[in-house]
């Protein structure tokens, strides 16, 4: 497995990765009366739910008993575990280098525990994973190969996405239900999904002006001359659940399933929609984009219909999880409402503490 940097993941280029972020150093688990991997601050799994069998892309996987030591080898699944009351013994760093590879919207779910942080800089760290003595390995967002699955299965049952999964960008609700089933908490998973969707339905009802508007979601910058933009269904649920229609012209511009549309500076007209959301990760992202003449001249930009996130909100959108999506819906609709009426501010709005 090649090194997975944020750029490589978000581009989902089937061949390359450029300049990976160094993963956090492994941190020792904090002392706590709670058992890592066991229930923590949430309802326990359904009694008598085991064994359970999950249909993965590499065949059925059976979990014989309630797991107590869960290792996350994908890059976002810690959010789902924490939302279901399970603190993993290890997570895998994507980017951000937050304690335990857990971002601010989920930190309070850790209690006094801090998972060990794994890296994929040189592929899965098999020796470290084995030393953690896992009884369940979660990799629904990992682009795991058959060979890697076989190696990891020697340590514990391994949960990937189902047949047909693209490796990354599996819909958040599907991931939640699969992980919840593996934990013996199907009912909790269903409620979690329903609650998140209900919060978005309420926000959509509060903002009827969103209905039918065409929105585009884009990364923050050009990389090697390419701007990566998300076609319908690819991490765009945070907008569709609010009532927006995702820019349909992006679909034919993606190189394949599970990939973003790849736009050069010359063909940016395709993103000139009713609203544009840019996952700005730092203040200098905006002047860098504005320095591109074809970007700066877009009507959606000049008419103040563009939303620039702050760094944490960008991360929450990228994570697309049952913990990050509530963070998004608490902060983004007010910015989208301003954009729909042409009143979006032309700078990053820090909503991390709002």
**8 Å CB contact between 342 and 349:** no
Dihedral (Cα; 332, 337, 342, 348), 10-degree rounding: -20
Fold equal for 24-196 and 207-340: yes
Question: What's the CA gap between 207 and 22, in Å, rounded?
Answer: 41
* pLDDT at residue 37, rounded to an integer: 53
Q: How many helices (H) and strands (E) does the chain have?
A: 12, 13
CB-hemisphere CA count at 13 Å for 92? 28
Among the listed residues 315, 343, 342, 352, the one whose alpha carbon sits nearest the alpha carbon of residue 101: 315
DSSP per position, 278-317: E---STTHHHHHHTSHHHHT-HHHHTT-EEE--HHHHHHH
pLDDT, block means (10 residues), the chain with 354 residues: 40 33 30 41 50 96 97 97 98 95 97 95 96 98 95 98 86 96 96 98 98 97 95 95 97 89 96 97 93 97 97 96 98 97 87 73
Please report which helix (H) or strand (E) contains residue 206, including its range: helix 186-206
Question: What's the CA gap between 12 and 8, in Å, rounded?
Answer: 6
Question: What's the CA gap between 281 and 309, in Å, rounded?
Answer: 7
Domain parsing of the chain, residue ranges: 24-196, 207-340
Residues constituting the chain: 354
* pLDDT at residue 3, rounded to an integer: 33
Question: What's the CA gap between 301 and 342, in Å, rounded?
Answer: 9
Chain-centroid distance of CA 115 in Å reads 19
CATH 3.40.50.1980 fits 24-196, yes or no: yes
- C-alpha dist (Å) from residue 297 to 84, 198, 232, 259, 269: 46, 38, 24, 27, 10
**8 Å CB contact between 253 and 246:** no
Chain-centroid distance of CA 188 in Å reads 20
Query: Which residues does 287 contact at the CB level (< 8 Å), separation at least 6?
Result: none
pTM of the predicted model as reported, rounded to 2 decimal places: 0.87
CATH topology of domain 207-340: Rossmann fold (3.40.50)
Please report which helix (H) or strand (E) contains residue 82, including its range: helix 78-83
Question: What's the CA gap between 71 and 91, in Å, rounded?
Answer: 6
């Amino acid at each position: 497995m090649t090194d997975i940097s944020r750029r490589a993941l978000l581009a989902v280029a089937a061949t390359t990765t450029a300049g990976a972020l160094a993963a956090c150093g492994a941190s020792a688990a904090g002392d706590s009366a709670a058992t890592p991997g066991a229930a923590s601050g949430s309802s326990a799994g359904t009694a008598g739910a085991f064994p359970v069998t999950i249909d993965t892309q590499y065949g059925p996987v059976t979990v014989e008993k309630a797991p107590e030591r869960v290792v996350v080898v994908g890059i976002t699944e810690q959010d789902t575990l924490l939302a279901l009351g399970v603190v993993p013994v290890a997570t895998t760093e994507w980017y951000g280098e937050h304690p335990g590879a857990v971002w601010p919207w989920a930190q309070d779910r850790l209690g006094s525990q801090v998972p060990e942080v794994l890296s994929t800089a040189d592929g899965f760290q098999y020796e470290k994973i084995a030393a953690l003595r896992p009884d369940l390995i979660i990799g629904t967002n990992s682009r795991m190969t058959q060979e890697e699955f076989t190696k990891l299965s020697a340590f514990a049952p391994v949960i990937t996405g189902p047949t047909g999964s693209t490796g990354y960008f599996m819909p958040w609700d599907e991931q939640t239900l699969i992980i919840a089933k593996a934990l013996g908490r199907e009912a909790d998973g269903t409620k979690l999904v329903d609650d998140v969707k209900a919060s978005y339905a309420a926000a959509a009802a509060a903002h009827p002006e969103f209905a039918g508007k065409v929105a585009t979601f884009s990364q923050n910058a050009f990389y090697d001359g390419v701007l990566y933009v998300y076609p319908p269904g690819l991490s765009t649920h945070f907008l569709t659940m609010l009532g927006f229609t995702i820019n349909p012209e992006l679909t034919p511009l993606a190189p394949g399933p599970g990939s973003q549309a790849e736009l050069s500076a010359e063909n940016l007209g395709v993103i000139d929609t009713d609203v544009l959301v840019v996952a700005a990760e730092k203040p200098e992202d905006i002047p860098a984009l504005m320095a591109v003449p074809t970007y700066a001249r877009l009507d959606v930009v000049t008419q103040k219909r563009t939303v620039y996130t702050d760094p944490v909100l960008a991360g929450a959108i990228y994570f697309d999880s049952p913990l990050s999506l509530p963070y998004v819906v608490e902060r983004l609709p007010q910015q989208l409402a301003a954009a729909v009426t042409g009143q979006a501010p032309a700078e990053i709005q820090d909503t991390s503490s709002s």
